[in-house]
Amino acid sequence: MRARITASTLKRLETLEKNRSKRKPVAMFPRLVSVDDWGAVSVPMQERLKANVKDIDRAVDYSDLPKLELVASK
């Protein structure tokens, strides 16, 4: 007796096999930057945090400050 496999099952298996070979990132890390660039990003964040340290009812909003570029791990 032979087992029958439907076309949709074969299609799903083919899709899984194609996706298996793709490399997916495991984690995202900030791109390494020079000390001066790091200071330009971190100093305003630290100043904002220090100014809001007593405001415990809400989180500090960093949305208008420059962001670090995240890159995938290799």
- pLDDT-wise least confident of 2-6, 18-22, 48-52, 63-67: 18-22
CA distance 53 to 74: 36
pLDDT at 13 over 80: yes
% the chain with pLDDT above 90 = 3
CB contact set of 43 (below 8 Å; sequence gap of 6+):
none
The model's pTM is 0.44
Using one digit for the tens of pLDDT, what is the confidence trace for 19-50?
776 677 678 888 888 988 888 888 888 888 88
